[in-house]
Amino acid sequence: MSATWWRGGVVYQIYPRSFQDTNGDGIGDLPGITQRLPYVASLGVDAIWISPFFPSPMRDFGYDVAGFCDVDPIFGDLSDFDELVRAAHALGLKVVIDQVYSHTSDQHPWFAESRSSRDNEKADWYVWADPKPDGAPPNNWQSVFVGSAWTWDARRGQYYLHNFLTEQPDLNLLNPRVHEALLDVARFWLDRGVDGFRVDAVSHFVHDPLLRDNPPSTKPGSRSRPFDFQEHRYTVDRPETLAFLERLRRVLNQYPGRFALGELGGPGVGGSEEGRYVSPTRLHSAYNFFFLRSAAPTPLLIQQACAEWESGHGDGWPTWVFSNHDAPRVVTRWGGEAGDRRYAELMLALLFALRGSVCLYQGEELGLPQADVPFERLVDPEAIANWPLTLGRDGARTPLPWTAAESNGGFTTTEPWLPIDPRHVAMAVDRQEVEPDSSLNVTRRLLGLRRRFAALRHGDLRVTADDPSVLLLERSIHAERLLCVFNLTADSRQQRLPPGDWQALAGQTRADGGTLHLPPYGYAWLICGSSGSAQA
C-alpha cells in the first residue's frame, strides 16, 4: 500500500479485552488478536486499530494509562505485541494503536511525583490549582462522567483537574516538557513498527490557563450529567492544542507512511471546529461523535454531516464511524426494535459509501445489536453512574462470538469479564461464514467493491436528500460514476434513477426501467456504464 494507504481505507477497531482470550482468564489478549488476524484480513480491511493494552489499573479499562511504553500483563508482553505487528504486516494489514495524551492514571509514576510536592521536577506536569478562599474548587468545570472536574489532593494542598474519572488526572499540555515526554512515547511505538495512532480525546488536550468559568449551555437537548449543563468554552477545543499536534506531526513525518487519526469528542460538531485539526501540518484525519450521538439518520442528517465537513476542512480527509467502544451499537441505537439484519446491512452499505476513511468496530460486520448486560454485571463507571437512563458502554464491549456451539461463543474457556448475549451467540462468526447472504459475507463483498472501484475510495461525493426517506450518494472519479441509494425507512419506496446505463453492483433491489424498487431498509449500489458488475 502507498504512503497514503489510510486515504479511503477501512480500519477495523479491536477492543482487546473482548476479542479473543487465549490464556483462560476471561479477558482477551494480544495473542488472541494475532490468532484471529486471518479472519480480520479476510474482511478486506486495510488496518487494525487496537484500543489500549498498556499497563493500567483499569478504572477506565485501559484509557487510564499507568505506563505508556509497555503492555499490561493481562494482555501479554512486548514480545507478544511485536509478534502481532509482524503477523499483521505479513497479511497486508497496517497496525494503528491508541495514544492517550490527554491524561494518565493516578497510578502513573509521573503523577506520583507531581503530587508529592509543589517544587519537584514534575510539579507542573499536571494541572494543579489553589482552592477558592472558601475551599471550593477553582472554578465550575464539570467532568465528562459525573461531578466536578476538580479533586482535592491533601499532599499538595491543591486541586487537580480531571476531565474524565477522578483517577484520570489531566496532563498539562501547556508545558513543553510534557510535549517532549509524550513525543518520546510516540517514537517508542513507531520504532516498534506501528503504522499510526488513533489519538484519544484530542478536544480535551488543553485547558484555559486563566481557569475561567464555563458559561451555562443554551443548547436544547437531554441533560443527564452536570457536564451537559455547560458550554465548554474554556475546557474543550482550545486553540493551544494545535502546537502539540504540529510537533506530533513532525515526528510522524520522520516515519514515512505513518498516520494520525484524531478523536474529536467535544460537544462542538462540524467543519469549523475540526478544520483546525486536520491539515498537512497536524492530523491526517479525524472523526467526531456526530453520528455516535445523533438520532437515527435521515437523508438531511447525512447531507448535513457531509456538508459540514466539506465546508470546514477544505482538502482535509474525514473518517466516519457509526459504532465504537464508547457508544451503543448502531443496530440498536438507530434501528431500535426494527434493528435486524436488514438494518445492519443498510448501515454497512451506507458507511462504506461515504467519502472518507472508515472505522469498522468489531462485531459491526456481524450485525450485532447492543448486548443486554444486567445491572449487577455492569463494570463501566459511566454506565453505573447513569443507569438506567442510558444504554451505557458495556453493551457495546461484550466479547465477540466466534463459535456458536462452544461455551462463551468460543471467546474463552471460563467466565468472561462481561457476559455474552445469547442473541450474539446465534450470530457467531462460524454460523455466518457458511451463510452466503449473512452480514459477514455482505461486508466482505461490499469491501471488495470498495477496493475495486476508485470512486468509492477516493472519488467526489454528491448528496441528494430531496426525499425525506431516500438518500442518494453519487461517487465519481474520472469516467467512473457510481450511485448509492438508501431507503432509510421501514416502508417500501420507489426512486427514479438519473439518466444513464445503471447496472447493479450490490443490494436487494430491482429496477423497472428507470425506477428502482427499494424494499424496507433496502439499498443499491449501481455503476453507470459497462465497467464491471458484481451482485452482493
Model confidence over 13-44: pLDDT tens digits?
A: 999 999 999 999 999 999 999 999 999 999 99
Domain contains 295: yes
Q: Decide if 297 contacts 353 (C-beta within 8 A).
A: no
- Residue 334 burial (C-beta neighbours within 10 Å; 0-12, 13-18, 19+): buried
Last-in-domain residue among 130, 151, 172: 172
149-158 per-residue burial string, b: 16 or more CB within 10 A, e: under 16: bbbebeebeb
Last-in-domain residue among 398, 421, 447: 447
- In this structure, what CATH number is given to the domain that contains residue 487? 2.60.40.1180
- Smallest CA-to-CA distance from 14 within 5, 256, 43, 179 is with 43
Q: Looking at the structure, do residues 224 and 298 belong to the same domain, yes or no?
A: yes
Domain contains 496: yes
Strand order in the sheet with 493-496: 493-496, 515-518, 510-512
Looking up cell 494543579, which residue turns up? 128
Domain contains 399: yes
Domains in the chain: how many in total? 3
pLDDT for the residue 385:
77
Q: Looking at the structure, do residues 180 and 290 belong to the same domain, yes or no?
A: yes
Q: 165 is in which domain, residue-wise? A: 105-172
pLDDT for the residue 42:
98
Looking up cell 461525493, which residue turns up? 461
pLDDT for the residue 271:
45
pLDDT for the residue 514:
86
Q: What positions carry a catalytic annotation? A: 200, 263
| Residues 207-249 pLDDT 10s | 999 999 999 998 877 787 899 999 999 999 999 999 999 999 9
Domain contains 535: no
Residue numbers of the chain with a pLDDT score lower than 70:
1, 266-274, 311-315, 389-391, 530-536
pLDDT for the residue 274:
66
Last-in-domain residue among 383, 415, 447: 447
Give dist(CA 526, CA 120) in Å, integer.
64
| Residues 115-129 pLDDT 10s | 999 999 999 999 999
Q: Looking at the structure, do residues 159 and 227 belong to the same domain, yes or no?
A: no
Domain contains 3: no
